[in-house]
Chain A
């Protein structure tokens, strides 16, 4: 079985002055917190805004 999520979220914007909250110093938008092939459990964060 498979679950596909498709959703809209704010785009991470490049903000050199802000503390890095995602890869590449992006801030304020959605960023993933998983890797491909990673095992996850219900309730674990896939990403954050």
Chain B
């Protein structure tokens, strides 16, 4: 190589003029196309087309200086690039040594994977999202136990005091910031699913004012520690179904076994759970737990109990690392990251399940919600647009797109999940 570099004659050539002209023409074509597209979008939104297209300002998250510094990094782009890289097919004979090296570095238990032959995994992405052999994760036999949803480390747990969750010692964030405000008036469904406000519009109902919402909430909601819940209809059957339109395609229907089992479990309570949720009642409290999945862990998550998912909220957010180090140093990390908030109920009342994305992982998959797209450029653009529209209306942007699962089960008004049932997972990129 040294000889070749030293002895090879370097000869410079002029770039052909045609190539330069072609490049400039391509740039001009791109500019014109962008301008026309912007004008069309503006017209579709009902506004006058702008004479000169204005670049949409990127919505930056609020936060301390660490967040501002990290916001300058293209973390989502890096995550997508990392995902694409990991989807490249690895040469057949490099797969076994490559995956064994990865397993050695990150502590993967290869013998637990459903596939003994590592050649089966064409790339790191498929190996990362591997399945386990049946029976290697037995469920705790106690039906009153709350199960771990994933392999990982329990970073924090406890009781929520005053609406605050402790990220690490002395560093808290508000539960509303994590799960979203209770009134999704400014939310927009980027995936085309219906939102409550959209539903009202379709049915010709007027939009409720804040006072009317309050009156309505007295009838249909109970509130504890700042979180509101729809009253359960499962104990009274379909007759009490709320007459509003639901998400059209929730593709994966819950199995009849799940529905019957979850319904039976929810009905096991000595009395309706909502009777415990009066303002004066102190019989229940809100608890939280944070489970961290390291890169070598099995990256699918399972239902911790029998429960019904009523709605999901997708916060596009950013994709910071969620490593224990950053959790210690970055306040409110979980409220900044991209996350999918699944809201519902279990036998004892409110239940929520929040997978939080990370730079090195990226996508969150929910098996029963095929319309959900996380770590997506389209979603980002839709979120930016929704923020702009909310700002134009003079309203605060809730920051999430919401969909409901009521159509999945007319009896339970949500998607029923059995304890231990696989719900989804984290994928690379």
CB-CB under 8 A from A7, the residues of chain B are 146, 286-288, 346, 348-352
Total chain B interface residues with beta-carbon distance under 8 A: 62
1/0 per residue A1-37: CB within 8 Å of B? 1111111111100000000000000000010111111
Q: With A3-B301, A5-B288, A6-B179 in contact, is A11–B155 under 8 Å at CB?
A: no
B207-215, B237-245, B356-364, B393-401: which one contacts chain A?
Answer: B356-364
* Any A CB within 8 A of the CB of B127: no
Q: Is the CB of A3 within 8 A of B355?
A: yes
Q: Choose one: B146, B290, B356; the contact of A47 (CB below 8 Å).
A: B146
Interface size class of A (residues with CB under 8 A): 20 to 34
CB-CB under 8 A from B357, the residues of chain A are 1
CB-CB under 8 A from A37, the residues of chain B are 153-155
Q: Is the CB of A9 within 8 A of B348?
A: yes
Cβ-closest chain B residue relative to A47:
B146
Q: Is the CB of A46 within 8 A of B286?
A: no
- Tell me the B residues contacting A by CB distance below 8 Å: 132, 137-140, 142, 144-157, 160, 165, 175, 178-179, 224, 276-277, 282-293, 298-299, 301-302, 304, 322, 334, 346, 348-358, 361, 420, 426
A47 to B283: give the CA distance in the assembly, Å.
17
Q: Is the CB of A40 within 8 A of B286?
A: no
Q: Is the CB of A41 within 8 A of B155?
A: no
Q: Is the CB of B334 within 8 A of A2?
A: yes
A9 to B146: give the CA distance in the assembly, Å.
10
A40 to B355: give the CA distance in the assembly, Å.
16
- Shortest distance in angstroms between B138's beta carbon and chain A's nearest beta carbon? 6
- Shortest distance in angstroms between A9's beta carbon and chain B's nearest beta carbon? 5
Q: With A35-B154, A37-B155 in contact, is A1–B355 under 8 Å at CB?
A: yes
Q: Give 10 nearest A-B pairs by CB, closest first.
A: A8-B349, A45-B145, A43-B139, A40-B148, A4-B354, A45-B140, A8-B350, A1-B426, A42-B137, A2-B356
Q: Is the CB of A1 within 8 A of B356?
A: yes
Q: With A8-B350, A42-B147, A46-B148 in contact, is A30–B291 under 8 Å at CB?
A: no
- Shortest distance in angstroms between A13's beta carbon and chain B's nearest beta carbon? 8
A45 to B144: give the CA distance in the assembly, Å.
9
A16 to B221: give the CA distance in the assembly, Å.
36
Q: Is the CB of A6 within 8 A of B285?
A: no
A1 to B348: give the CA distance in the assembly, Å.
27
A46 to B283: give the CA distance in the assembly, Å.
20
A22 to B414: give the CA distance in the assembly, Å.
33
A-B contact pairs, 25 of them (CB 8 A): A1-B357, A1-B358, A2-B155, A3-B291, A4-B288, A5-B149, A5-B288, A5-B289, A6-B288, A7-B349, A7-B351, A10-B283, A10-B348, A11-B282, A30-B146, A37-B153, A38-B153, A40-B154, A42-B150, A42-B301, A42-B420, A45-B145, A46-B147, A47-B287, A48-B142
